[in-house]
Structure formats: structure tokens, C-alpha cells
Structure 1
Amino acid sequence: MIQTLNGRIPDASPEQVFPVFAQLAEALEIACVEEEGSFSMKLAGGELRLSPARDALALSLSAESERRLYLLQQMVLNRLDALDPAPKAEWERVDAGALPPNLSIALVESSTLISPNFRRLRLRFPDVARYAEDGLHFRLVISALPPDQAEGGSVREWPRIGENGRTRWPEGDLALHRPVYTIREIDAAAGWMDVDVFLHEGGRVSAWTERVASGDRIGLMGPTTRGAIAAGWVGFWGDETALPAIARHCAALHPGTRGVIRISLGDMADRQDFARPEGMELVWTPRRERGLLEDLQATALPADDRFVFFAAGGEEADAARTWLRGGQGFDKTESNVTGYWR
């Protein structure tokens, strides 16, 4: 069922507000429509409309769920903040004091070292099903205190919706850390989700996993959707940080998919077995500077019916994106290139 939320931006003009949303549409490579003083765009399972009203701009948001509607509302508020002075939005309703609808509260069931540099967390929470449908990434919400002060990472105060419709985050000793992680495996019927954490020196979550205990209460926010990869030939390139995402994508591929999987590791003992079509060739390689990019460039890529997933360090990912889009003619539907770290 489609959910809607209406609002207004007092004393704002189309000339002032429309450009910031048009810039967002351009950055996301999605279409927007501006005509007769009105503006509209569709994104993330929802739609935004702006139109002139008496002494204001009228806002109309619609989405397929309360969670997506709330995320669309937060996007609007963040875009308005880019203006100087930032106009204030007024909403027909605000659930002040409520938990954000994109927040799930989970209990840590177990923490298991599955290889020298990976630890697997099993989390249990009531609304696992919405993460299972097409989920890929989410935000892990734990205490921002140093691990030796954070009581295992259990959250003591949750974010709430403020009077202005924005998410109000705890501060000071109650502040929260919100890194992005990937769903490794999930069983909605059984009510659990597994998350693999790559352990590295200086990592806040790595340190947290050393102290986390069964029963610790943490938060999850998301998920972002995975999106189906339906090409006949698929290539994956990634380092340790991309391993959970590659495994999750491979499990969803059509059994007849052909292609290659190249994963670079600092420690070859971190190799994992994961489900994949028989036609996908898997190769593990020791890490070397720009090794994934060089491997990608040395691979014979099909001219069509193709898809490339590349995820590693930011600089290497930027170079891969430029090479695919510029020299190889890949469009936005044929590749997903992401810098997982800088």
C-alpha cells in the first residue's frame, strides 16, 4: 500500500529550491521532470513532487512503505540544508519521540571467528523479513565509546524522531557509531541474520567484536536493496571488504550465469566457500597494489549481456570506473563500482 506525506516550504520559490533536487537527480543518474513551475523525481521506491502554493512550495512524498517514506523525508530535509539560508519544511504530521521506522533493534546471539581475519555475528530481531527480501547493505548501530567503556556495544539510548521530522541522534557518552556492513546470510523464517566483520588494526567494529557478548542489544538501519544482476556474463573483483557482498550477489545469480570472480586477500587463510553458479570461475589472489584493476583490464569482457562488480579501495575503484565507462563503453546498467574504503 502506498504511503503519503504532505508538507510545505514557507516563503520558498521554485528558483531557490528546484536546483538542489535537480543536482541530486543528475548525481544519481535518474530522471526528473520540471514543467509549469512544478518539479518531480522518482527514487528509492518513492516519489517527490514540488509545486507552487500560496506563499510556499507544496511538498508531496509517496513511497511503498513507511520506512521508505521516512527515508525520502530525510533526503528532502538534507537537501534543503544545502541552501543558504536553509528553508524550513512544515509537515502535516510528525511522529515526534517515536523510533525511526528504518531502525531495527537486534540481539547478538553469537560471535564466531571463522578465519584469521573474519568474525561472524549472528543477530536476531523481529523484522528480519524486510532485510531478507532484497537487502544487501545496512548500518550497524553500536556505542561510539571506546570498546573498553562501551559495555559490549549495547545501545543505551536510541535515536528518536524530533519535532521537525528529523532523526535526533544521542550525543556525548550516548553517541552512536553507524558503519555500513553487508548481509552475509539470512533466514527470515528462523529470525536470524549473519554479518561477517573483516578484522583490521584500528577498526572500531573490529575492537568491538572482541568484547561483544551474547545478549548485547544493538541497532540496524536499512537495508539498501541488492538489485538483481541478470546478465549472462558477470565479473566480480574485490578485496576482503567486498567478500560478503560478492558472496551474497553470487547466491542470487541465475544458475546458468557465466563469468569470473577475483578476490584479493592479505591472508590467503581467509578464503571462504560460498554458493555460486557452476559457470563462475573463482580465483583467490594475494594482495598487491592495483592488482584488481590490472586483472580487470587484462580480462576479455563481452561486448554485451555483461555486468561488472568492482569494490576495493577508493582510488582503485575510481580508476576502474573511469576505465569501464570511458574506454570500454560500460553504461550505468552494466556495472557497479564502489570504493569500500579510502
Structure 2
Amino acid sequence: MTTAVAAPFRFFSLQVVRTRRLGPSLVRVTFAGADLAYFHSDGRDQSLSLFIPAEGRTEPAVPVELGDGWWQVWRELPDDVRAVMRSYTLRELRRDPDEIDIDFVLHGVEPGASPTLGSARAGGPPSPAGPASRWASRAAAGDRVILLGPAVADNRAIRFRPPEDTDLVLVWGDETAVPAATAILESLPAGTRVRAWLEVPRAGDIQDVATRADAEINWVVGDTAEAAIRGARLPAGERPYVWIAGESGRVKELRRHFVGERGVDRRRVTFVGYWRQGLTEEQLREAGE
């Protein structure tokens, strides 16, 4: 497969080497491949586009080259052929051997159950598992994917960029942002003051985070972290940097809270909507969001 570079991004042909369940709702998939020699990223919330095979296929169908118009070429492939694209963040990049980890939230997949059945959240009716959750729940060594990722270490798909004078880092993320948030926490240097609120669906999804930072990490089961943030007493007179990621509606509400109610300079707030309640990624892309 030809992988022409459209700097700073390119296609990477990869395969699964192993998987590890992190909790009832989370699975880590490790990928390898010769192409990873050209994968470079200095970011801890590096965004990626993952292409998995269409249902019933073993190879993801994507355009041969990443050039102008590749998106339209991909969209025009038949529905039963076109690879499924989903957005994720890089959990970790390792060398010798070259490997990357991506953590998947298993929306609609109960532990030990069929990934087609779905699960309920907060007592609601079962929701069917999406194609990426189904794929991740049964991923096995040798499964092939295509990744659209960075060939340049510093690129526009890295969002966590605290100003040099930051003396307090504030982090919020729902389960879709936990991989990026925990990678950020692990990367921070000793002495960095951090307060983080991380939401997960179940208590078994809480993770140990090895960080050198002076970090207070609040794990919240369910979707009540927003209330905890609003009620939290934060040090006065600081130069904070805020990173918020997850469901886009809640992300916007928290941005309003920090800027409008806490008085944080909007230039010191990074907010990223990873998904929107009630919409698929295809619907979001069609809407231009």
C-alpha cells in the first residue's frame, strides 16, 4: 500500500499485537507495524483517526494515497466495503519495538456478553454497541487497521498546550477523554500542581495513574463530576490552565463555568468535544462539527 505523506499526517498500516482489559468498560489495544518508524508525536492528547474493516471484512478499505480529495474517495466507497472511521487519542507510543496503545470505551458492551446486545446506562434502555466498540471487544492479534496519524511530532492535532507561566493545571474528562487525561497526568513534571476530575461508567474502570506531578485526581463514577467541579474551592490568585474534553455539550458548559464564573482567561482554556449525545461520528462529520 502506498502511503503518500500529506504533512504532517499520513496513513499507517498496523496490526493488533495484544489486548488488555482495563476494566468493565475499557480495553487497551496495542498495535505494531513497520510504518510506526515514521510515526512521531510529542503530544499527550494526540488525536488520531482509526479505520477498521467493514463488518464481515478483514482489511480496512481506504484510499490508496492520502492526498487532496481522499475524504471524498473514501466516502464514495460502497457501504459494505468502506472502512469505518472513528476518532481516538494516542495513549502511549513506545520504541524498540515500535508500538502504540489506544484505549477503547466499550459503549454498549457488557463484560462477557455479546457485543451486539448493548447495555444500559443510568437505568436507561440498552443501547446497541457501535462498530468500533464491537471491533475492540473482540480484537485479536493479527487484526489489521489503518491509522491516520502524525508524521511530525508537533502538529495541530495536539491540544494540551499550557502557557509557560501556568502554576495550576485543571483537567476534566469523561470516559472518552480518560486515555488522553491519564496520559497528560503521567507526562507532567514533578512539582506541577494539578486537580483532575475523571468520569468513568463503573467503579472497576478506575485506574492507577503514575504521575510525578503534585496531583489531586478525583475519580467519579457516573456523570456527577461537573457538580463536583462547580462546588470545588480552587486556590485564588493563580495562573491556571484548563483542559476539558468529552461530550461536547458538557464541555461547553464547563468552559462557560471556568470563563464566566471562575474568571479564567478564555485563552487559557482548551476545550475539545470528542462526541455529542445522540449523534454518531458520521452525523457529526456531515454536520461539519
Pick the TM interval, shorter chain.
0.7 to 0.9
Query: Could you tell me how far apart the structure 2 residues matched to 1:268 and 1:67 are?
Result: 42
Instruction: Indicate if the aligned counterparts of 1:132 and 1:188 stay in contact, CA closer than 8 A.
Output: no
Cα contact 1:198–1:206 (8 A) shared by 2 = yes
Does structure 1 residue 330 correspond to structure 2 residue 264?
yes
TM-score between the two structures when normalised by the length of structure 1: 0.63
C-alpha separation in 1, matches of 2:179 and 2:263? 28
2:148 corresponds, among 208, 216, 221, to 221
Kindly, what percent of the aligned residue pairs are identical?
25
Displacement after TM superposition at 1:113 (Å): 1.7
Alignment-mate amino acid for residue 104 of structure 2: V
What is the aligned residue count? 238
- Counterpart of 1:124 in structure 2 is 32
Match of 1:165 among 68, 74, 92: 68
Q: How does 1:193-232 map to 2 (within 5 A)?
A: 193-201=100-108, 202-223=129-150, 224-229=157-162, 230=164, 231-232=166-167
Which 5+ residue runs of structure 2 have no aligned equivalent? 109-128, 151-156, 277-289
Any conservation in 1 of the 2:62–2:82 contact (CA below 8 Å)? no
Indicate conservation of the 8 Å contact 1:258/1:277, yes or no: no
1:160-195 C-alpha deviation (Å, 9 max, x unpaired): 349x93212161122021111111121033200011
Q: Aligned in 2, Cα 1:279/1:210: closer, same or farther, shift over 3 Å?
A: closer
State how 1:155-194 maps to structure 2 within 5 Å: 155=60, 157-161=61-65, 165-167=68-70, 168-169=73-74, 171-172=77-78, 173-194=80-101
Higher RCO (CA-CA < 8 Å; seq separation 6+): 2
Residue 152 of structure 2 is aligned to residue 248 of structure 1: no
Letter paired with 2:181 = I
Distance 1:339 1:256 in 2: 29
Note the C-alpha offset of 1:328. Answer: 2.9
CA RMSD of the aligned region, Å? 2.4
| Aligned with residue 258 of structure 1, among 193, 204, 218 | 193
Distance 1:300 1:277, change over 3 A: farther
Counterpart Cα distance in 1 of 2:144 and 2:160: 29
Equivalent position amino acid for 1:305 in 2: R
SS of alignment partner, residue 6 of structure 2: helix
Secondary structure (helix, strand or coil) at the match of 2:272 reads strand
Change beyond 3 A, Cα 1:114–1:293: closer
Q: How does 1:102-113 map to 2 (within 5 A)?
A: 102-113=10-21
Q: Of the two, which has the highest radius of gyration? A: 1
Offset of residue 226 of structure 1 = 4.6
Point out where structure 1 has 5 or more consecutive residues left out of the alignment: 1-64, 70-100
How far apart are residue 221 of structure 1 and its match? Answer: 0.6
Q: Who is 1:238 aligned against? A: 173
- Give the strand-richer structure, 1 or 2: 1
- Contact persistence 1:325–1:331 (CA under 8 A): yes
1:234 deviates by: 0.8
